[in-house]
Copies of this chain bind each other. A is one copy, B any other.
Amino acid sequence: MTTRWKLTIEYDGSGFCGWQRQKSDVTVQQVIENAIHAFSGENPTLHVAGRTDAGVHALAQIAHFDLEKEFEACAVKGAINYHVKPHRVVVLKAEVAPPDFHARFQAKARRYRFIVCNRPAPLALMAGRAWHVVRPLSLAPMQKAAALLIGHHDFTTFRAKFCQAKSPLRTLDVLDITQDGDMFTFDVKSRSFLYHQVRNMVGTLVMVGTGQMSFDEFVAAFASCERANGGVTAPPEGLYFVSVDYD
State the A residues within 8 Å of B (CB). 10-12, 57, 59, 77, 81, 88-93, 119, 121-125, 127, 129
How far is the CB of A120 from the nearest CB of chain B, in Å? 8
Do B88 and A12 touch across chains, with their CB atoms under 8 A apart?
no
List 6 additional contacts besides A10-B121, A125-B129; criterion CB under 8 Å.
A11-B124, A11-B125, A88-B127, A90-B124, A92-B119, A93-B121
Residues of B within 8 A of A10 (CB): 121, 124-125
Residues of B within 8 A of A11 (CB): 124-125
Do B12 and A121 touch across chains, with their CB atoms under 8 A apart?
no
Residues of B within 8 A of A77 (CB): 121
Residues of B within 8 A of A57 (CB): 125
Residues of B within 8 A of A90 (CB): 121-124
Identify which of B12, B93, B125, B129 contacts A124 (C-beta below 8 A).
B12
Q: How far is the CA of A93 from the CA of B59 in the complex (A)?
A: 32
Do A81 and B121 touch across chains, with their CB atoms under 8 A apart?
yes
